[in-house]
Structures are given as structure tokens and as C-alpha cells.
A and B are shown apart, each in its own frame.
Chain A
């Protein structure tokens, strides 16, 4: 570990801040390419139907229409990155069929000279459907005789059963058994830039260039190449600035890049498709709703002896994340507490509703809401302090992870809980309780874990190249996709620190381009600071090593005696033996005609581990018993991030995540009636606004991760995992009602009082 850090740990300004604050940053939706056409997608009005015939002739004859494509021309992508691991998986990345499975499922698309013409032409396409019986409830969908949405029996897209120890025995050995059922809602990412815009351009030299706001440029490249039978080398993904992602831009957007590419191939011109906000709401991914049955056995003194968790997850019409999200709910559910007897069973089930996918937390906000609500009930029933109950049971340092078999090496849970409890004044909470007219206050807490990356479950490579320029400055090249988290800034900090340079000396382009970067699995699962950071650090170390080798030759000194600092390479014992880094690099590149060397380092590979991120939340709320309205009065949270490379970014991640968590807890959720989304706009889908949220105290805990760059692990996905539970617990404390069905809306609270 480096003892004195000069760039890491500093809240340097993100490198793209000025472009963003002056309006210069170009997002997908802002892009214009010479000769570009405008595309629009025709969507299914039925939740489940067979498309018998698509007559596009009238649309094609429209004077301003240049191309029409349909689901008969292009496949749907139904695979996730895990599919790349086996031949069988690779064979099932795509689905070629004429079935539409939710209202809004793409059927055809047109490209025209202008958007109006494209829109008009959609109404000229005549589609003949055979309506099929639809099913909207995952429990109904699992029953024998339910309409079959894909080919699987009982619509089960994924099933998992994990048994650790002996559940029955554990339940027998306990003094108390607690059982509850929980429901969670379908939260929308609702990124401020509608998901999504893309420009596909197949007009040059048989190469396909796609501007796509994807979190995984290289995976998107691979998927598009295979879909159109192009050599992977001929496909280029360029990711422009992206107005938020949160998992919603994992891989390709359902129907978007595929149809856009097809239109470009047919028309020979670049084509742009942008979704409207309504399309974003009805036809892009959302958070999977869960039904969770818990049965926990606990001893009198609050030790968990048995945990049974049964989950049914509604995946909607397509299930690229059917396995991933359920598996992540499993790992978080199994690993949070060191219970010896655990059974987790999960069913991911297709329904004829809009598709679900990756969303910050990835199954954790659902399972955490259930577990931490039940833990609160247990604490109350047994008369044990909620904090103490967590501290007694959580799986901490040196405990064995029963899933990976690895020992837990970093551990900040105790510190998170204790620091947040102190700042919150948990001890003094009873004294603060107010009953004023119809208003009651209450407090609650919860804890959570998450992980950095998916290295043990899915292909998860990271890569980076560090190149010295002749003036001593450095270019950092990586495919890390930055959707606003600031990971590219953080990676530049890691490179600068490793090389002994100032942050300003490391330059990184605003957004990645697959033509210029080695394969990186992308930005997901809180992995870029950790796994991406490891790759950058290794690449920088290689470049530095090379530089010192060459300096040693040049100065006729031993490499081990040389140091870099203040722009010089110097002898540690005799600083008069030195050379300016820029002089050496200039000599190597240009002066010595026998050399011509660019000093650089590249690293590719996976991170060694999947470190655990810990967190604790404390909330104080006021509930108005006359209206059911909840106000969050105070919110303190702490997260163990290993090492905050950029503390201001970490704070931003924490607060931003908690606020979307507050929306998940209190107001958000898509409402579907017979497969139709009833609230596809910001008026009816209520997200929290600045006046709705309190000041949030975000405490950063740094329990170093030995394998992480400068001790860092991730944070982003952990930050909204425990918000619903802490608010539910505080509401219970205030008014004595426990609502087990998200969101904890005003109506539901009023109704249960």
C-alpha cells in the first residue's frame, strides 16, 4: 500500500465537468451525422400476439421514406454476458420469431428524411395479428395450462435452489419462527436522457459504426456483429455522453440498435432513432418486481439459525437478466448473515408485461427490503436493539463465504453501523420521538451488503492501456463507460497516482470507442473503480517499469535506485543523477534514430476477487396519520468503499442512490393494467424532487480491500439497496403499521392505519 497519496483520495474535478456545465457535451440524443435519416419504431398494441403478416408497401412508397425493416429481418437479443461462456449459450443469444410479448414490443421500423415522415409512415404499415392469450401475474403464469410465452414449461425462465446446512433442523433448533410475505414494485430507471438514442452508420467500407449509449461497448459490438454476420472487427461502437444509465443501458436496448442498423444497411445512410419519454417508460427495461416469502428461525438471544427465502420474480416478456438478477438476490440474501442453515429458492417467470432488466442493486433492493423488514420485526419481538441484532449476525471478517468458498478479507460493517448510529444519535432516538396532532415521528435502521463485479459468475475482463507522450504527459485508454458516475475521472486518478504524475498530466477521452480500446466487459455491478482500477494500475505499473528500464540504461544507474517525481527521474541517493522525463521520452521517440519507442503498458484480465461492500442506513420520518403522508426528517448512511479514490464522487454516488431508493420506498412503481402501463410519464410516475428529500449525511468508511487499487472497492450499486427497508422500519416505529408491499404509498399507509 502506498503510504503517501497525492492524487488518490482527492476530490479532483471530473474531467468532463466543464463540457457538461456549458452545454457543449453531446449526448446520444444530440448527435447529427451528415446525411442522417430519422427512424421510428412501430410497436405492438397487444400484450401477446403472433404477427401473421406485415405489409410495408404503402410505407415504402411514402416519398420521404428510405427504408423499412421488420421483426422478420432482424433478431431479438435475449442473451446476457453469461451466455458467452458456453457454445449452447452463444447459440441462444438471439431469438428469431414473429411473436410479440408485451405492449410496446417492436414490430417494424422506418427511416425517413425527417422525423415527421417517419412517424407518418408508421401508420401506413399494416400488420395482421393473431391475438394470443396473455398472462400478467407471475404466479398465474407458473400454473399448468397458463399461456406459454416462450418455450419453457410453466414460463419459468430460470430456477435456482440453494441449500446450505439443514433448514428443517435449523428451524427446529430455534426458539422463534418468523414468517412474512413481501411484494416489491416495478421501478423505472427514468434516466434524464430518455433511454435511448442511437445512430447506426453502415455506409462506409462495409464497416458498421454505431453511436450507442451502452454501458458495455465491447459486448454490444460483439452482439451486433453476430446478429448481422459481420466480422467483429468491422463493427465499431462509440459511446457518446450518456444521460444516466443505472443498468438500463446494459447491452443493447430492446429493438433499438438492431433495427437502427438494419435500416442503415437497407438505406445506405446513417440512421438515428431516439425514444420518446413514453417509449422509454413502456418499452425499455425496469426493475423486476419480486414476491418474497421469508421464514427465519431465531434463538431467544437473537441468533439466526435458519433462513428460508422463496422468491418469484416477474421478468416480463424477455428475460436476458432472468438468471442474473435472481442469482444476485441469492448471493446478497445468503451472504449478509452468517446463518448456518439457509435455503434460497427462486423462480424467474415470464409474463406479458414490459421487459425487466438490470437496475442498480440488481435484485438486492428487493431481497434487502424483505430481510431487513423481518429483522426489524425480530428485534422488536425479542426485545433486542435493532443495531445489536445486526451486529450479532452479520457475516464479517474472516468468515467463510459459503458460495465462493473465499474468506472475507475486508470488513467495514461494524464501522458503518457504529459511525452512522453515532451521527444519527440512535441512542437518543426515543427521546426525540414526537406526537404532535396527527403527526408521529419514528426511527429505523438497516444494513446491507453488495459486491464489486461479477468475476466468479460471468466473464468480467477489464483492460487498459497507458501511453507516455514525449512531453511526459500520459494518455489513458480504456473502454470503461462513464454514464455520470465519474469512473473515467477516477481511473485517471489511479493512473496518475501510480505514475507519480499530477492528475492534469493524465488525459482520457470523454467516451470510449471500441476501435481504440481493448475488450472490457463494461460498466456494471460496481466494478469499474475496482476491476477497471486494477487494470489501469497494472497498465500504469508496466509503463512505469518500462520507463525506468530505459532511464536506467540512459543514466547508467540501477533501475531499483531510480524514482519518479516532479517531472524528473532521479537517483534516490544521488539526485544530481537525473533526467527530465520529457527529455528522456523525447530522446527515445525522436532523437535516437535507432529507438523510436513509445513507452506504454497494457493490462488485460480479470480482478482477483469480488469484494464485499458494506453499508448501514438510519432514518427518521414523520408520518401524518390524517393523510398518510411521510416526510423523511433525517437520513444518515455509511458505506465501506475500501478507499474513496474521489470522495466527492463517492458522496454523490451515495446520496444519488439513496434518493432513488427513497423514491422506490415511497412513490415509484409502474402500474400495469392488462399489460398496459398506466403511468408512462413524470406526472403520473412520481419521482422525488429536491423539495421532497432531506439533507443526507453520507459517511465514507474505508476498510481497505487488499486486492483493490489503493484499497478501493465499488459503491454505486450498494447505495439504494437498503433504502426501502430503513424507511419501512421507521414508518413502523412511528405509527405501528408495517406495509410489506412497495411502494409505501400515502394511500397504503392511510388505509392500514
Chain B
């Protein structure tokens, strides 16, 4: 057992973890944060995407022991009280959600993308979310939602 300190969605945790335990397992099984999804466990689908110190990572390939002293943001930590994050809001408004299973991963990829590039093109978005498989939407509405979220966020920055 290894002992680590991590911050998840702003909350500090001191955890005893197994050396081969993945961040995905910790989040889902120990912390009950099931918003982060298991799609493959092989790093191929992006359903498990979370932000680690602001960067999008696949939590199924990340050993939790390596996240010691780091900050993790999951889908559950994105909204501000009852207020949705602009990306979430934009997904809702643009009908970018069908079954919703890929949605948390897509939203967290988008979050990291927009932090890096606040004014992406359609192509930038498609490249950046290429890690995230979605079997329902055909990507069009999610791409639209991310572009619109970028606009919203830029608008907020102007104010």
C-alpha cells in the first residue's frame, strides 16, 4: 500500500492505494465519482478522460500513485454550484448528448483544449477530441458545442 495526497475537484484526499491501481479505479470505486466512465480500460476510447493539473489524461492508463500531490478535475467538479460550466451548458443547448456515456470524457477533453487554445477551428477541435470515441452523435453536434463554448468563454473574458 502506498500513501498519497491528491486533490480531486478541490477536495483533499489522503489515500492508501495499490501500486497498480489506476486513477479511474480510485475515482470510481473509492471516491464514488462514477461520472468518469470506463469504456475500454486500454487507452483507446477517451471515456475516462479527466484533467490532471489542467491537462487531459486518460485515467485508465494513469496510475493513481503517480498523481501524488497533483490536482485532478473530473466532470463532477466542473460546475459551479448549480451553474453549469459553459462547456456543459453548450453541450446541453446544442443537443450534443445522446446516450451521454462519452459525454464526461468529451467535456473534459474540451476543457483542456479550450484552456490551451481559446479560439480553436473546427479542425482543431476534431483533432483534439480524436481520442474520444462517440458511437451516437457522429461528432457533429459535440464539435458545434465545443466551438460555441469557446465563444461563450471568450465573451466572459471580455466582460
A interface residue numbers (CB < 8 A to B) = 11, 13-14, 16-27, 29-30, 189-194, 241-246, 276-277, 483-486, 648-649, 651-652, 655-660, 681-683, 687, 689-693, 695-696
Find out whether the CB atom of A658 lies under 8 angstroms from the CB atom of B126.
no
Distance of B148 from chain A, by nearest CB (Å): 13
For residue B138, which residues in chain A have a CB less than 8 angstroms away from its CB?
Answer: 652, 655-660, 693, 696
For residue A659, which residues in chain B have a CB less than 8 angstroms away from its CB?
Answer: 137-139
Find out whether the CB atom of A652 lies under 8 angstroms from the CB atom of B135.
no
Stretch of B51-59, B64-72, B87-95, B150-158 lying at the A interface: B87-95
B interface residue numbers (CB < 8 A to A) = 28, 33-42, 44-45, 47, 74-76, 78-79, 84, 88, 91-95, 97-104, 107, 122-123, 125-127, 129-143
Find out whether the CB atom of B99 lies under 8 angstroms from the CB atom of A484.
yes
For residue B84, which residues in chain A have a CB less than 8 angstroms away from its CB?
Answer: 18, 21-22
**Nearest B residue to A657, CB-CB:** B138
- List 6 extra interface pairs beyond A192-B45, A689-B130, CB under 8 A: A21-B107, A23-B76, A276-B41, A651-B95, A651-B141, A660-B135
For residue B140, which residues in chain A have a CB less than 8 angstroms away from its CB?
Answer: 651, 655, 695-696
Find out whether the CB atom of A23 lies under 8 angstroms from the CB atom of B104.
yes
Tell me whether chain A's interface is mostly helix, strand or loop, or mixed: loop
Give complex CA distance A14, B103 in Å: 14
Give complex CA distance A18, B94 in Å: 12
Partner of B101, one of A244, A660, A682: A244
**Nearest B residue to A21, CB-CB:** B88
Find out whether the CB atom of A190 lies under 8 angstroms from the CB atom of B76.
no
Given known A21-B103, A23-B75, contact A681–B42 (CB-CB < 8 A):
yes
For residue A695, which residues in chain B have a CB less than 8 angstroms away from its CB?
Answer: 122, 140
Distance of B149 from chain A, by nearest CB (Å): 11
For residue B135, which residues in chain A have a CB less than 8 angstroms away from its CB?
Answer: 189-192, 244, 246, 656, 660, 687
Find out whether the CB atom of B95 lies under 8 angstroms from the CB atom of A22.
no
Find out whether the CB atom of B97 lies under 8 angstroms from the CB atom of A687.
no
For residue A486, which residues in chain B have a CB less than 8 angstroms away from its CB?
Answer: 98
Partner of B126, one of A21, A242, A483, A691: A691
Given known A21-B91, A484-B100, contact A682–B44 (CB-CB < 8 A):
yes
For residue B42, which residues in chain A have a CB less than 8 angstroms away from its CB?
Answer: 277, 681-683
For residue A16, which residues in chain B have a CB less than 8 angstroms away from its CB?
Answer: 100
Distance of A33 from chain B, by nearest CB (Å): 14
For residue B36, which residues in chain A have a CB less than 8 angstroms away from its CB?
Answer: 23
Can you report 24 A-B residue pairs in the complex whose CB atoms are below 8 A from each other? A14-B97, A17-B97, A20-B100, A22-B76, A22-B78, A22-B84, A23-B33, A24-B76, A190-B133, A191-B99, A191-B135, A192-B37, A192-B47, A192-B101, A193-B101, A243-B102, A244-B135, A655-B141, A656-B137, A659-B138, A682-B133, A692-B130, A696-B138, A696-B140
Give complex CA distance A30, B104 in Å: 14
**Nearest B residue to A192, CB-CB:** B101
Find out whether the CB atom of B100 lies under 8 angstroms from the CB atom of A682.
no
The 10 closest A-B pairs by CB, nearest first: A23-B35, A484-B99, A20-B100, A243-B101, A659-B138, A682-B44, A484-B98, A23-B75, A648-B95, A655-B138
Given known A17-B92, A21-B88, contact A687–B133 (CB-CB < 8 A):
yes
Distance of B82 from chain A, by nearest CB (Å): 10
Give complex CA distance A690, B137 in Å: 10
**Nearest B residue to A485, CB-CB:** B98
Find out whether the CB atom of A193 lies under 8 angstroms from the CB atom of B92.
no
For residue B137, which residues in chain A have a CB less than 8 angstroms away from its CB?
Answer: 652, 655-656, 659
Find out whether the CB atom of A277 lies under 8 angstroms from the CB atom of B101.
no
For residue A194, which residues in chain B have a CB less than 8 angstroms away from its CB?
Answer: 38-40
Given known A20-B97, A696-B140, contact A691–B130 (CB-CB < 8 A):
yes
For residue B125, which residues in chain A have a CB less than 8 angstroms away from its CB?
Answer: 690
Give complex CA distance A660, B136 in Å: 8
For residue A244, which residues in chain B have a CB less than 8 angstroms away from its CB?
Answer: 98-99, 101, 135-136
For residue A27, which residues in chain B have a CB less than 8 angstroms away from its CB?
Answer: 37, 101
Give complex CA distance A470, B84 in Å: 32
**Nearest A residue to B129, CB-CB:** A690
For residue A655, which residues in chain B have a CB less than 8 angstroms away from its CB?
Answer: 137-141
Give complex CA distance A486, B99 in Å: 8
Given known A486-B98, A696-B138, contact A681–B35 (CB-CB < 8 A):
no
Find out whether the CB atom of B40 lies under 8 angstroms from the CB atom of A20.
no
Find out whether the CB atom of A191 lies under 8 angstroms from the CB atom of B101.
yes
Find out whether the CB atom of B100 lies under 8 angstroms from the CB atom of A652.
no
Find out whether the CB atom of A483 lies under 8 angstroms from the CB atom of B97.
no
Give complex CA distance A30, B101 in Å: 11
Distance of A606 from chain B, by nearest CB (Å): 27
Give complex CA distance A687, B129 in Å: 14
Distance of A311 from chain B, by nearest CB (Å): 27
Give complex CA distance A506, B78 in Å: 29
Given known A26-B34, A192-B37, contact A690–B132 (CB-CB < 8 A):
yes
**Nearest A residue to B102, CB-CB:** A192
Most buried by B among A652, A657, A658: A652
